[in-house]
Chains A and B, each alone.
Chain A
């Protein structure tokens, strides 16, 4: 009786890894394309409210954000409620009208997303929405998280 020869010994057992960089690069490119790096630095603190009956904004290109919340003064301190558009805090409420009007001219189907801190007074938000009405940007969205 002769020894049985192990059959598996002849076949190669390595997984071919030469295509691995290509696979990884493909994943990498996917994530690079889908990533949105944070475009603005928040100068106000925002703690979102929650709601049940919410809708998604599908077209992100149309969205312009207005941030309303207590101003960040230090790591833990916060000041009074302020309005921030893009990178700057807008002190003069009436200036919102011209800013938003210019944005509307660039993008006629503009949606304004209001990102408001939950403890803000509603009066300030009304002032802002009044300005939006004057500017003609009528599509708005109160940004909220989904209620769990």
Chain B
């Protein structure tokens, strides 16, 4: 009798054939819900709040490129109206003025390290116009840095490691990015 009972005992194994199906289902769920998105954007470092007791250092008018963008998206570059597409070339001209090989033009910067780009907007200026403007200015800097890196080291600028000496020397000593974002006007338009 005891022997008979033993024979009837069912197989103790868990059926594993459907395991793959279950795993596939879960896999597909995660595949569909996953978004491998990389955060991209324009990086900036804001200036700290200035100390009221310390006078800001004097800046020569010629070293400052004023970009004004109004609420309609019209651009004034040092008091001359221009279009957004011209900005990049004008910014490059402004920065590289007085560099070896370039003639010194009055009213443009004395040296790339002294050049400051100041962007000023109205409060009503749409954000995307402002971003376009910033994009052009940063693009001008990137192109200049790229040219310099190719001339000095024979590699494009973005191929240099951020911690490397070459990168730091171009980013800090040759073409430092000096972008000032002025407080907007109230602008009644």
Residues in chain A within 8 A of chain B (CB atoms): 17, 20-21, 24-25, 27-28, 31-32, 34-37, 49, 51-57, 60, 63, 111, 113-114, 116-123, 125-126, 129-130, 132-134, 136, 138-146
Contacts and interface: CB of A to CB of B under 8 A. Distances in A.
Given A51-B134, A121-B127, A141-B43, 19 more contacts: A21-B19, A28-B27, A49-B131, A53-B138, A55-B40, A113-B41, A114-B41, A118-B127, A121-B126, A123-B124, A125-B127, A126-B123, A126-B181, A134-B49, A140-B46, A141-B44, A143-B40, A144-B41, A144-B135
Interface of B: 16, 19-20, 23-24, 26-27, 30-31, 33-36, 38-49, 121-128, 130-132, 134-135, 138-139, 142, 181, 183-184
Contact of B42 (A54, A63, A122, A134): A54
A52 B139 contact: yes
A122 B30 contact: no
A64 to B, nearest CB: 11
B48 A136 contact: yes
5 shortest interchain CB distances as A-B pairs: A123-B123, A31-B30, A118-B128, A24-B23, A49-B128
A146 B131 CA distance: 12
Contacts, number: 142
Contact of A122 (B39, B48, B123): B123
A31 B158 CA distance: 31
Interface of A is mostly: mixed
A21 B138 contact: no
Given A35-B34, A60-B39, A118-B126, A138 B48 contact: yes
A35 B26 CA distance: 13
